[in-house]
Structure 1
Amino acid sequence: MPGKYPGDVKTREHHPTVDLGASRTREQLTSRLVNRATALAAFKESHHRHLDLLSQACEGHQLDLIRKVRLYTPPTQREGPRRTHILEELMTDYLAAAMAMLGPAQNRHADPAAWDRLHAELGIQLPPDYRIVVDAFAPIQINGHLYLCHPATKQWNLGQDIRGQIEAWSEVPWDDLDLDADEDPRQLFGLDELSFGTRNGLWPIASTDRGETIFLHAATDAPRLLVNYDETWAEHRMSFAEWLYCYLIGEDMTGPNSAAFYPGPVQLRRLPMSADERPEPWYGPDRGM
């Protein structure tokens, strides 16, 4: 039976509704906490030289270098350049942690002018961490499911993808749907209105072949992502880099029991740029998972 919302624009598949009230089992939660701890430990080990450099910078009060890793640490934790604080900040640099799992940036299509054109067309600025990941790898399929497009390519063009999804989602007659409270994103997340592609609305920035759509909520200064999976919605008050990191280590990032975790290095596959192209996958570095 068709779902109420448009599916992923690449597959248009619909999947069984996940009960928002379903709770994680103790075993599942424990497993995911262990995965996160293991990944963070591996990241710390691979960056121990960077940590030593930061410690030296702290002792010498080289604040410009210190600021480079002060991405997500709350201001209350930033009192004084101490090694423990730098460690906390390094461990929460989710962009670096995600990139460490994906491997060296390729930047095949990196083009600042393409981003400028896209931002002028959209009327909003997409987050810097999102742009860095997209420039590094897109057009790409990550982890066997997650698709990222790029603004500089003819095929898998990010602007075209965003516009197509906005059009599809804007056609949903929200007021006419018989939605339960746990199905209506307006009630779930306290939205005054539900709009797509507007200055205060939702912007589809990524999707999966499982029918999941990741939206950027443009109305807030603090990072906020909403994710739809068929008739299930999830909210994440975090940056795209943190969302990607948590997704890759197997946390439920699109709804309850939605994890897509595969042990070992992360798989990446370039998206075909022609009808006869069949790109082969490759894998990121070992991540101790």
Structure 2
Amino acid sequence: MSDLGVLIRLCPPPQPRQAPIDWEHVEAELGMRLPEDYKVLASAYGPGSYGGDHISIYHPEGVTLYVNLTGPMPERIREHLQRDYDQGTFPVERNPQQLFAIGGTEGGQKLFWITEPENEPDAWRITVSQEKGPLWFTYDGNLTAFLVAVLSGQLDVPQFRNLHGLPADFTPGVQPPFEVGDPPMSEPVNTEDIRDWARANGLRIPPRGRIPRKVRKAWEQAHPA
């Protein structure tokens, strides 16, 4: 049985999704290919969290920008890691440019893909950081297999030891009663101008939809107010 099949037996997903995820658009917005196991997992479960609402997995349809795969959090987390890596503030086990945040826990731990080899996403492993501490734990497998191992009790993640076992369940994400927006640019800018600039400078950008955060940031740095 596949890892997804085992996970579905452990914690059945909610009702089947009505509309498929446009993975081509998601990958274009991120500027990278994604592991197939993640795409199947995200398509089957939708946005939400596992293990008694403890492990939140980022999703392209996340109900807020804080749990959205294409939102600002992965890049913000990488920026914090890079600062810690450069300054030695907190231990970082590898170059932050090889880490992409895929989720987090209510205890402050972060889950990452180790994006090596860069062009072989199905070979990416999972690593877990400790909130403001020296402990890192690396799992030699993909995200779906990691969730199966944790929720079935087969894997002892040191950062999760104070939880005494997580329940094998899934909690769908719920839209908050308020709207959370992305910080606006300092002044209104024609998005087509940004797209033209990005293409001229060799940056990947989707032909429509939201401007990827890293492209917007590069634009702002090149066009200071």
- TM range, normalised to the smaller chain? 0.5 to 0.7
1:168 & 1:275 partners in 2: Cα distance? 29
Partner of 2:165: 261
2:92 & 2:74 partners in 1: Cα distance? 22
Q: Percent of pairs identical after alignment?
A: 23
- Name the TM-score, length of structure 1 as normaliser: 0.51
Partner of 1:112: 21
Q: In terms of Rg, which structure is larger?
A: 1
- Root-mean-square deviation (CA, aligned residues, Å) is 2.6
1:111 & 1:168 partners in 2: Cα distance? 33
Residues 214 and 226, structure 1, Cα contact 8 Å, conserved in 2: yes
Tell me the number of residue pairs that the alignment of Structure 1 and Structure 2 aligns: 167
2:111 & 2:19 partners in 1: Cα distance? 22
1:165 & 1:99 partners in 2: Cα distance? 30
1:272 & 1:95 partners in 2: Cα distance? 23
Residues 214 and 227, structure 1, Cα contact 8 Å, conserved in 2: yes
Task: Confirm or deny that 1:274 pairs with 2:186.
Answer: no
2:176 & 2:21 partners in 1: Cα distance? 24
- Name the TM-score, length of structure 2 as normaliser: 0.63
**SS of residue in 1 equivalent to 2:157:** coil
Map 1:3-152 onto structure 2 (within 5 A).
Answer: 90=1, 93-104=2-13, 106-108=15-17, 110-113=19-22, 115-144=23-52, 145-152=54-61
1:208 & 1:256 partners in 2: Cα distance? 9
Residues 21 and 43, structure 2, Cα contact 8 Å, conserved in 1: no
Residues 224-272 of structure 1 show CA distances to partners (whole Å, capped at 9, x for unaligned) of: 1111022210111111111010110232235473665246xx3332222
Residues 262 and 97 (structure 1 numbering): CA distance in 2 closer, same or farther, change over 3 Å? same
**SS of residue in 2 equivalent to 1:124:** coil
The one of 111, 115, 134 equivalent to 1:214 is 111
Unaligned 5+ segments in structure 1 are: 1-89, 187-193, 277-289
Residues 223 and 158 (structure 1 numbering): CA distance in 2 closer, same or farther, change over 3 Å? closer
Residues 51 and 170, structure 2, Cα contact 8 Å, conserved in 1: yes
Task: Confirm or deny that 1:227 pairs with 2:131.
Answer: no
**SS of residue in 2 equivalent to 1:147:** strand
Unaligned 5+ segments in structure 2 are: 179-225
2:39 & 2:152 partners in 1: Cα distance? 21
Q: Displacement, 1:154?
A: 5.6
AA paired with 2:146? W
The one of 237, 240, 244 equivalent to 2:147 is 244
Q: Displacement, 1:133?
A: 1.7
**SS of residue in 2 equivalent to 1:175:** helix
Residues 177 and 166 (structure 1 numbering): CA distance in 2 closer, same or farther, change over 3 Å? closer
